[in-house]
């Protein structure tokens, strides 16, 4: 493909012309080529116009990953609309809030997902004056038939009228620390950040890309759907993560690309039946979070059977407000990949605000991929993006001499114990090297003498009969050998699992709420 198209409708049309009959999507027995995808999107886009969608209006999609989700989402932008993905696990009341805040006249959903009745939930969530139509994704064929009354020239004109600076999508933050906010991105931004990620990851036309990341999240939508249109790779969307099904799919379909949250790889590495699946086709894995365990990267790169033997494992750092900020490069050393999030991607720059003696401070980000702002919230936008255009991330980090970023923690997660700052991520990194620990999260809890002390929530792995499961005393003893005394968790609680959102982030607010 020559010059990258400036809008998503242009990108879809270009992908169809460039990749034609090459398979764009596989879901179960279904296959859809790039040409077929373009035709399906145009048909549904005509249907949305027939249902009254005007250019610039927002459409909420509330559903799990599927080919229908992709067709519907691209149809919204092809018709000149603005895509508003909703978390598939949201309640009807939460989705109703998004509908009200965006003024969406149309909601597209998958009624019955996870045994729930989404239409009924939405209807019971209160009056939604703006909402004119609820459409099930299973009815897209009917929507396309109603669109036959809209001339093809009209829908193509609608698509052509979309500009690079028009808002393409509004993605709402996870809301783990308060009411979610809608981050608005222009078409040029959604395409630009996806292009940068695809180039740095070396994604190719012959790649088979398993999309576990939810489409409602930028990691699934922009780094999944849009990357597919840019590179011509084949996407395999899955609605829910099932460990055995995922390993079978990797083996049977010879999956080559598997981006995901750290928990995805941790689950595969500790799977009791991993040796029954051939995972050798995996060549590219990209993971990221505020903090990625170093030991996890080492195990992903290590050859089988001890590790996954993935050729290229890189880490990246991003957020809803900027999607991708930094990323490792293919020729980075193992140490760089294992201990940093890489350098700023093209079009972005980084700065550490008011660094301490050790160089750490709040990470500030500026560049062409930073959001336009928060929907209808100029106050929150001004608080997040200062007058010089720097986005204040709320993450604590440090830059090395080559510009590689290492995130040490979230500002809000730091606690002070006996007058010393403690960053839980450092404690978590240490504990994850202990045999028998599969997952861990550390939070600060009140203490009468020290002000705050650490509490570690520990998930132990499925140890065999010959290996004793570590107990709280073992965990504390392990920490004392590796950490300063003020960093050692005073309390250790064994739990079955850590509460996480679908992006893989630990909900530490919930852990703090459960603390006595």
159 contacts 78 by C-beta, under 8 angstroms: yes
Residue 254 in domain: no
Domain residues for the domain of 502 are 414-514
Contacts of 490 (CB under 8 A, 6+ apart): 447, 453, 454, 455, 476
pLDDT tens by residue, 359-373: 999 999 999 999 999
Residue 510: give its domain's CATH number: 3.30.300.30
Residue-wise pLDDT tens digits, 140-153? 999 999 999 999 99
Q: Look at residue 165 and tell me if it is in a domain.
A: yes
Does 145 fall in a domain? yes
Total tally of structural domains belonging to the chain = 2
Asked if residue 262 belongs to a domain, the reply is: no
pTM: 0.86
Of the residues 157, 185, 213, the one at which a domain ends: 185
Q: What is the per-residue pLDDT for 174?
A: 65
The tokens for 509 are: 């607010």
Domain boundary among 165, 185, 205: 185
460 within some domain: yes
Token pair for 61: 């999609």
Torsion from C-alpha of 316, 317, 319, 325, nearest 10 degrees: -90
Q: Which helix (H) or strand (E) holds 19?
A: helix 8-19
Which of 161, 185, 209 is where one domain is finished?
185
Q: Where are the alpha helices (DSSP H) in 310-391?
A: 334-339, 378-384
Residues of the chain with pLDDT under 50: 1, 176-177, 463-466
In a domain, 439, yes or no: yes
Q: Does residue 452 form part of some domain? A: yes
Instruction: Read off the CATH number of the domain in which 100 is found.
Output: 3.40.50.980
Residue 193 is assigned to a structural domain of this protein: no
């Amino acid at each position: 493909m020559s010059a990258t198209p400036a809008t998503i409708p242009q990108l879809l049309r270009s992908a169809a012309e460039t990749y034609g009959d090459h398979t764009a999507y596989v879901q179960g027995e279904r296959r859809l080529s790039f040409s077929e995808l373009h035709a399906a999107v145009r048909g549904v886009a005509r249907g949305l116009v027939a249902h009254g969608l005007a250019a610039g209006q927002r459409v909420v999609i509330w559903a799990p990953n599927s080919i229908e989700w992709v067709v519907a989402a691209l149809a919204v932008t092809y018709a000149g609309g603005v895509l508003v993905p909703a978390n598939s696990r949201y309640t009807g009341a939460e989705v109703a809030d998004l509908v009200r805040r965006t003024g969406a006249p149309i909601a597209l959903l998958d009624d019955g997902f996870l045994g729930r009745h989404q239409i009924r939930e939405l209807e019971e969530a209160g009056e939604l004056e703006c909402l004119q139509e609820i459409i099930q994704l299973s009815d897209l064929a009917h929507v396309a038939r109603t669109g036959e009354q809209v001339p093809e020239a009209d829908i193509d004109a609608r698509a052509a009228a979309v500009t690079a600076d028009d808002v393409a999508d509004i993605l709402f933050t996870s809301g783990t620390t308060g009411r979610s906010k809608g981050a608005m991105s222009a078409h040029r931004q959604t395409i630009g950040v996806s292009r940068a990620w695809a180039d740095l990851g070396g994604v190719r036309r012959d790649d088979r890309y398993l999309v576990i990341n939810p489409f409602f999240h930028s990691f699934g939508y922009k780094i999944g759907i849009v990357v597919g249109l840019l590179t011509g790779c084949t996407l395999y969307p899955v609605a829910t993560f099932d460990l055995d099904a995922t390993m079978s799919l990797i083996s049977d379909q010879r999956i080559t690309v598997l981006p995901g949250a750290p928990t995805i790889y941790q689950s595969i590495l500790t799977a009791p039946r991993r040796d029954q699946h051939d995972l050798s086709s995996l060549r590219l894995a990209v993971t990221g979070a505020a903090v990625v365990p170093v030991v996890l990267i080492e195990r992903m790169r290590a050859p089988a059977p001890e590790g996954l033997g993935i050729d290229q494992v890189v880490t990246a750092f991003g957020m809803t407000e900027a999607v991708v900020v930094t990323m490792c490069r293919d020729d980075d050393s193992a140490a760089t990949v294992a201990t940093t999030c890489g350098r700023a991607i093209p079009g972005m720059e980084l700065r550490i605000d008011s660094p301490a003696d050790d160089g750490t401070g709040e990470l500030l980000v500026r560049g062409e991929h930073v959001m336009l702002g928060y929907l209808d919230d100029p106050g929150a936008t001004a608080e997040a993006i200062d007058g010089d255009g720097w986005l204040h991330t709320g993450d604590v980090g440090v830059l090395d001499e080559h510009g590689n970023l290492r995130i040490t923690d979230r500002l809000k997660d730091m606690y002070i114990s006996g007058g010393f700052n403690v960053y839980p991520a450092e404690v978590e990194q240490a504990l994850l090297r202990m045999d028998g620990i599969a997952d861990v999260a550390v939070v600060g809890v009140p203490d009468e003498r020290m002000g705050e002390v650490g509490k570690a929530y520990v998930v132990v792995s499925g140890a065999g009969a010959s290996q004793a499961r570590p107990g709280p005393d073992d965990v504390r003893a392990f920490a004392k050998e590796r950490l300063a005394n003020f960093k050692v968790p005073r309390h250790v609680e064994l739990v079955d699992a850590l509460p996480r959102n679908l992006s893989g982030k630990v909900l530490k607010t919930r852990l703090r709420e459960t603390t006595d």
